[in-house]
Amino acid sequence: MDKQTQEDRILAALKAGRMLTPWKALTDFNCFRLGARIYNLRRKGYAIQADHAKGKSHYAIYYMRAKDRRRK
């Protein structure tokens, strides 16, 4: 049985062009530590970008540029 990890699912979402916030990661992937998963993916060589937003709190919005989605 092929069981996908949180990292696998997050990477697939980013490669599909989705923008992820900590809230979306929690609701979609049951991931409480999106920043840690992004850190791991970056260490594996994936070019993941981040913009910072401010609402009631500060948070990051993670995404991959179109040219980087085709790599690996």
Inter-residue contact 11 to 32 (CB < 8 Å): no
Give the pLDDT confidence score for residue 55 in this predicted structure: 79
Name the more confident of 68 and 37.
37
25 close to 31: Cβ distance less than 8 angstroms: yes
Of 25, 46, 43, whose CA–CA distance to 34 is shortest? Answer: 25
pLDDT digits (tens, 9 = 90+) for 30-48: 999 999 999 999 999 999 9
pLDDT higher than threshold 60 for residue 1: no
Report CA-CA distances (Å) from 59 to 5, 35, 38, 67.
23, 10, 14, 25
pLDDT at residue number 63? 97
